[in-house]
Chains A and B, each alone.
Chain A
Amino acid sequence: MASTSRGDSLPKVQCPNHPDAILVEDYRAGDMICPECGLVVGDRVIDVGSEWRTFTNEKETKDPSRVGDAQNPLLNGGDLTTMISKGTGAASFDEFGNSKYQNRRTMSSSDRAMLNAFKEISTMADRINLPRNIIDQTNNLFKQVYEQKSLKGRSNDAIASACLYIACRQEGVPRTFKEICAVSRISKKEIGRCFKLILKALETSVDLITTSDFMSRFCSNLGLPKQVQMAATYIARKAVELDLVPGRSPISVAAAAIYMASQASAEKKTQKEIGDITGVADVTIRQSYRLIYPRAVNLFPPDFKFDTPVDKLPQL
């Protein structure tokens, strides 16, 4: 039970009668109990939680934890090393005041780059408030790419950014390249290159982006009410269905749809504001808007309440 298999999941114990049941942990006795039949599946389970709750403002008191950081078996090479910490008594310092025993480096030299990358991924994801599951997925992807070594020459940050992009796509909540660029120091071009290389290396593919993937995020960033968001989603979908915008990036179409919907409602947003949020250029929104404007009547949802009627929509 304690040995970690090569798979990327924690060791699983299951109730023999109910393999699908999620086991309940009884920490007092250290048991894993099946909720369906009450069978005690794993007993005397070692508690892998943290020993003490540490608060960040307590800098003065030494860390009483004797077990170190939480284990990350998925992603490291099974780091079970022992470190010797700095001495405290007088005997551990030589005459100049330097500590005698200095061995706190080379913890895990092979995974140093990977740990660094995980830290970078965590920082990037934190900037755009991505949930834990996407971060985990990104870490997994990075680990796979790193172990494969086919992209070894590329900057780790670029690979990390591309992994983040792929993870968001795979989880069904794609972020635009420009959004990833905003939280990363790597250029869009390089992220795009790494993205294609990673897809090839891992032999996976991702779904095509649609206009509706971005609507909720863009509209809430602009502060638009739900009605406008739903109208914009409908407009964009209809525009693509009627093939009014062939060859246009879905982001540009989404931006133009948001512009049309907001201009028809009470919450009017300028092209510049929408351009800032979506990352689409002013002129591109104008171009896409010009393409959907002639059929504006057909594009609005039937139950939409117009603050500005369709014929008074701005015509650029």
Chain B
Amino acid sequence: MSRRGQHLAADPHYQMSRSQEKLEQQQAIVQQLRLEASLGRLPVSRCIEELKAHCLQHQTRDILITGFADQKENPFAKGKNKACVIL
């Protein structure tokens, strides 16, 4: 650090404002942790049951899983890509 920088850093006013900053920072961290700690949590077993139920309920209609019974139903199938455009 330069000599001028060292003088600045040693200035008691500067030191006080730096430690004030650290204090405020730490206060914010603690406040955020208090908020997060106060959360109610559901058991993982129940959460997974709901995820499972959602998947199983909807996956029979999930095209990326079931595919198309007939490729004619697939809007992206070959031969379907030439649409007429009115200019």
Chain A complexes with chain B: no
